[in-house]
Amino acid sequence: MNNGKQEIILKGLPSSGGIAIGTAYLYHREEVYVTERILTDEELEAELVLLDEAIERSRHEVQKIANFAHEKLNEEAAQIFESQLLMLDDVEMRKALDMRLRREKKNADFLVYDELQKYKELLGGASDELLRERVVDLDEIGQRIMRNLQKKRLHSTVEGEHVIIASQLTPSDTILFSKNDVLGYATDLGGITSHAAILSRSLKIPAVTALHTVTAVVQTGDEVILDGQRGLLIVNPTQDHREEYELKLRRIANFEAELKGLVDLPCETPDNHKVELSANAEFINELEYVVTQGSKGIGLYRTEHLYIEKGDFPSEQEQYVEYSEIAHMLYPQQVIFRTFDIGGDKLLDTAVPESNPFLGWRGIRMMLDKPEIFRQQLRALLRASTMKNIKIMFPMISGLTELLEVLELLNDVKEELRGEGMAFDESMEIGLMIEVPSAVFIADELAKHVQFFSIGTNDLVQYLMAVDRNNELIADLYQEFHPAVLRAIKHTIDTGHANGLWVGMCGEMAGNPLATLLLLGMGLDEYSMVPSVIPEVKTIIRSTPFTEAKAVADEALSLSNSFDVRSFLYTYMRDHFPELYASWMTGENGENDVE
């Protein structure tokens, strides 16, 4: 009951799926403030020791959180704290602080604040989301060191089960609150790719970000419903709303129990049309979970983490060891390795600053400019292919000239290996990602030179719609069900089939249950997605005749706007898969509800 209080519904960005019903806890993070003062000669040496101790204590604190992330979460989550440890170990920053302390004789906490402020100002105006997240990391590191210099303690605990309401959560806040009975997170600021959002998804804690006014509207003790899929926070919900969401929670629990029985069943429609369900992965320790969810292989293995972890491009042998281990772990299932896609949203520290990295030096463009590095990766992949379950695909291909240049380099590497007596899979399939609009329009030319296409919807939608999906001002214009997007996908599939290619999809749309029948009816051969969604997608496919899926696709393709397409698909899901629909409405995937 809302005890007579007015119900308020706030709309933000859906950052981590799930439902939370409970009371709010308004969290105000205690900021550390500094004042500038001049030290005496006697105080200087003591201040240097104090700085060493504060940095070491800060490192110990972050290491404990990193250990927890490594043990309980995935590598993407753990990497956030590994990056913070690298900042604390930064020799140049440490030298700068020591030099300034001795030269200026000012208090250490002020110098830490001043030094990090320079980095924050440099990165704060960046258009790249990853760079902006580094500002958050820098701020958290600075606050931690200053807090330890002032010998203060941070309290990120709360008694009882609550939905945490905050202006913004740091990565550490997100982890530390999770050790209590936190139900969900709702913040004024942040986006779907923020570190706090990534951690929330890893922790399976519902979260809504970019609510703007939530800390002004909500008070501690208010009853709230947080809908992490639709991006809603309902404050003082009516009895009807509460009962509606309690029913959804019961349906989700029942449905998740039923999904466990699908793992070993084939992905085949009732009228015997088969498709492949694969998983997207980035780290070796994800593979065991991938198999348990019923995946038939890896449709996208991202190789960029090898660069990110090392801070430089790995050697051929380092790559060969990892690629071989993955191929052996998955045999006889296939694994498709995407060659390095660095740049854009994957930071390359040595890159020339770019005003728009997503339209700049990234993917295959960078690799063609660094042929020796590219050759090392191709050699490693070919050498690891002796079990004949490896495929290679190239990202960001925008034209035939690029593709032919890549294939010429690949053939040179093959000849080189033959000359050295190195074994590799001579019949290995080669493919490319269709994620640049120009590739859609020349797909018939590209298809003559490869064995498969994999549609990367994340970038394809972004480029077709001219929308940065991480920009909350225009996030609603990122529409994967826009008719232009659907027609581009259909054209790519038809063109691939006409040239004897199989066509897959490895973007987020592949794991969106709302899109499953639409893509099936378009003729998609392979879906590659977040592993946790595979049972849901398999349920839809195994329950629907291919002939019916084609009718669904034909109807959706005849509609003239994204709203009508979504409305049609929502209605179909509600009528044919009521339990799945209820679960999907609160999961990590899919678009927001029709409003």
Q: What pLDDT, on the 0 to 100 scale, is given for residue 287?
A: 79
Is residue 374 situated within a structural domain? Answer: yes
CATH number at residue 325: 3.20.20.60
Is residue 268 situated within a structural domain? Answer: no
State pTM to two decimals.
0.64
Same domain, 328 and 476: no
Cα dihedral: 135, 137, 138, 144 (round 10): 150
Same domain, 311 and 410: yes
Q: What pLDDT, on the 0 to 100 scale, is given for residue 344?
A: 44
Sign of CA dihedral 287, 289, 290, 292: positive
Give me the amino acid identity at 440: V
Same domain, 326 and 418: yes
Same domain, 186 and 138: no
Q: How many domains does the chain have?
A: 4
CATH number at residue 92: 1.10.274.10
CATH number at residue 191: 3.50.30.10
Is residue 438 situated within a structural domain? Answer: no
Q: What pLDDT, on the 0 to 100 scale, is given for residue 43?
A: 92
**Residue 182: strand pairing partners:** 162
Domain boundary among the residues 149, 184, 206 is at 149
Label residue 13 exposed, middle or buried (CB < 10 Å: 0-12, 13-18, 19+).
buried
Is residue 291 situated within a structural domain? Answer: no
pLDDT tens for the chain, 595 residues: list them.
566 689 999 999 988 888 999 999 999 888 889 999 999 988 999 999 999 999 999 998 898 888 777 666 766 677 788 888 888 888 888 898 999 999 999 999 999 999 888 877 766 555 455 556 677 788 889 999 999 999 887 766 677 889 999 999 988 888 888 877 899 999 998 887 788 888 888 788 999 999 999 999 999 999 999 998 889 999 999 999 999 999 888 877 776 677 677 777 889 999 999 999 998 887 776 777 677 777 889 999 988 877 766 667 889 999 999 999 999 999 999 999 999 887 644 444 444 444 455 566 667 888 888 889 999 999 999 999 999 999 999 999 999 999 999 999 999 999 999 999 999 999 999 999 999 999 999 999 999 999 999 999 988 998 898 877 656 567 677 789 999 999 999 999 999 999 999 999 998 899 888 999 999 999 999 999 877 778 889 989 999 999 999 999 999 999 999 999 999 999 999 899 886 665 554 333 333 333 3
Q: Residue 228: which domain range? A: 8-30+155-237
* 346: region left, alpha or beta (phi > 0 left; psi from -120 to 50 alpha): beta
Q: What pLDDT, on the 0 to 100 scale, is given for residue 419?
A: 96
H or E segment to which residue 52 belongs: helix 41-72
Is residue 547 situated within a structural domain? Answer: yes
Same domain, 130 and 201: no
Token pair listed for 474: 């225009």
Domain boundary among the residues 124, 149, 174 is at 149
- Which residues are catalytic, by number? 195, 506
Question: What whole-number distance in Å separates Cα of residue 521 and Cα of residue 88?
Answer: 52
Is residue 58 situated within a structural domain? Answer: yes
Token pair listed for 519: 């893509």
Is residue 258 situated within a structural domain? Answer: no
Q: What pLDDT, on the 0 to 100 scale, is given for residue 155?
A: 65
Domain boundary among the residues 197, 216, 237 is at 237
Same domain, 118 and 180: no
Is residue 264 situated within a structural domain? Answer: no
